[in-house]
């Protein structure tokens, strides 16, 4: 009998510990992990967009430090799936707003517990496509050649219905693509027709060669349409071998939501191309362009004096010519931007196009 009571007491202690731990996990906030699944990632931004500008009880301390912080129990049940709305108030100041995105940015990828799967409700309906466009097959690649692709969601034959947000990852084949060069630029053309506030996040994971992206509206209303949601610029690695049917990018874990965080499935298509190594460019032997990753608005081209009747042009990813000044070997960009530039050098000896990346 004494043994049975000891066993019962042991089991009861374990159950009580579990109950207390679960209760604490419902009220202990790790800033940025809005859905409280153990990790801060791009999907947390989808939750933030659905409760933006909503008030809640502030925490004792206003902080986004990566540590467990106690939420007010008065907020319990005000969020999807009975999540304490204090989880969306990442900085604890008593209101859910765009400032709370800073916690996702700062703490992205951090883990505080066993990771649970993303818990969205999937609804029936049409399944729009998601693909890369703007590329062509049989591309003749040269060292450091740059390309820009649209990320298209939906089509004229399969319009996206009830769009509020989308989050996904892109796997990049680094055998062919310079991962440092990958740049995403948001396109709000159809997903934000009323020019309301859009929240977005783009994160690179150099361990997995993945790009993590999230885009969400904040006005509690959805839109319908189709077309590009962003542009992805890449630079092909130098000295890549010829190959056929090479998949250089694909999508993973795509969640497209409506204002109620219900998910509609998406038909994803990766980017597969044929590659053929190009012949050597004579200007590559004569010119040295550095740095190719810019920290400010200047870079250098040495060897221009070897060229006859040369011209130097700089373009953005939209093909717009940018204003530059040239003094000796130094090139200065008048109105620098973040992203990818395309440098063009034309002379009697030939033409060279090279990408530059501005951090």
pLDDT tens, position by position, 302-351: 999 999 999 999 988 767 889 999 998 999 999 888 888 889 899 998 88
Ranges in the chain annotated CATH 2.60.40.680:
121-277
Ranges in the chain annotated CATH 2.60.40.10:
282-358
pLDDT at 202: 96
Tokens of 151: 């990320």
Angstrom distance (rounded) from CA 85 to CA 92: 11
pLDDT in tens, 250-281: 999 999 999 999 999 999 999 987 776 655 67
Task: For 13, list phi and psi in degrees, rounded to 5.
Answer: -65, -40
The beta strand positions in 6-55, using DSSP E, are 28-29
277: CB partners within 8 A, 6+ apart? 140, 141, 142, 239, 240, 241, 242
Closest CA relative to residue 256, chosen from 358, 154, 140 = 154
Tokens of 26: 């419902």
pLDDT at 78: 67
Angstrom distance (rounded) from CA 137 to CA 130: 19
Please check whether residue 42 is in contact with residue 167, taking contact to mean a CB–CB distance below 8 angstroms.
yes
Task: Mark out the alpha helices in 93-195 (DSSP H runs).
Answer: 101-107
pLDDT at 141: 52
Closest CA relative to residue 215, chosen from 188, 183, 253, 249 = 188
Tell me the CATH class for 282-358: mainly beta
Per the DSSP assignment, residues forming a β-bridge with 299 are: 331
Burial (CB count <10 Å: 0-12, 13-18, 19+), residue 91: buried
- For residues 136-161, one letter each, b for 16 or more C-beta atoms within 10 angstroms of the residue's C-beta and e for the rest, the string is eeeeebbbbbbbbbbbbbbeeeeebe
Per the DSSP assignment, residues forming a β-bridge with 288 are: 302
pLDDT at 8: 41
Angstrom distance (rounded) from CA 299 to CA 341: 12
Determine if the peptide bond prior to 276 is cis (ω within 30°): no
Sheet with 146-153: strands ordered across: 183-186, 227-235, 146-153, 129-133, 267-268
Angstrom distance (rounded) from CA 37 to CA 43: 10
Angstrom distance (rounded) from CA 218 to CA 283: 49
Residue numbers in the chain where pLDDT is lower than 50: 1-3, 5-24, 135-140
Whole-prediction pTM: 0.77
Angstrom distance (rounded) from CA 228 to CA 240: 29
117: CB partners within 8 A, 6+ apart? 37
Q: Which fold has domain 121-277?
A: Immunoglobulin-like (2.60.40)
């Amino acid at each position: 009998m004494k043994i049975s009571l000891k066993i019962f007491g042991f089991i009861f202690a374990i159950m009580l510990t579990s109950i207390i731990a679960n209760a604490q996990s419902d009220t202990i906030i790790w800033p940025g992990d809005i859905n409280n699944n153990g990790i801060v990632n791009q999907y947390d931004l989808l939750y933030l967009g659905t409760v933006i500008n909503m008030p809640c009880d502030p925490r004792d301390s206003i902080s986004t430090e990566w540590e467990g912080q106690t939420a007010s129990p008065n907020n319990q049940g005000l969020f999807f799936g009975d999540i304490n709305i204090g989880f969306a108030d990442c900085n604890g100041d008593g209101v859910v707003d765009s400032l709370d995105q800073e916690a996702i940015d700062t703490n992205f990828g951090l883990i505080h517990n066993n990771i649970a799967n993303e818990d969205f409700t999937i609804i029936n309906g049409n399944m729009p496509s998601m693909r890369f466009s703007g590329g062509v097959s049989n591309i003749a690649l040269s060292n450091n050649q740059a390309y820009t692709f649209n990320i298209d969601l939906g089509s004229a034959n399969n319009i996206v219905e009830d769009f509020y947000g989308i989050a996904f990852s892109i796997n990049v084949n680094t055998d062919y693509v310079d991962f440092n060069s990958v740049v995403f630029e948001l396109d709000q053309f159809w997903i934000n027709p009323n020019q309301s506030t859009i929240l977005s996040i783009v994160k690179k994971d150099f361990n997995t060669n993945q790009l993590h992206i999230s885009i969400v509206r904040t006005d509690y209303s959805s839109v319908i349409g189709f077309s590009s949601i962003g542009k992805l610029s890449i630079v092909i690695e130098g000295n890549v071998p010829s190959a056929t049917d090479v998949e250089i990018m694909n999508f993973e874990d795509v969640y497209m939501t409506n204002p109620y965080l219900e998910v509609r499935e998406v038909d994803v298509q990766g980017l597969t191309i044929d590659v053929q190594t190009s012949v050597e460019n004579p200007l590559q032997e004569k010119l040295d362009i550095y740095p190719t990753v810019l920290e400010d608005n200047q870079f250098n081209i040495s060897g221009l004096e070897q060229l006859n009747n040369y011209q130097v042009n700089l373009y953005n990813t939209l093909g717009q010519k940018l204003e530059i000044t040239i003094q000796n070997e130094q090139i200065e960009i008048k109105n620098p931007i973040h992203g990818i530039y395309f440098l063009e050098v034309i002379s009697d000896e030939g033409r060279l196009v090279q990408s530059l990346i501005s951090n």
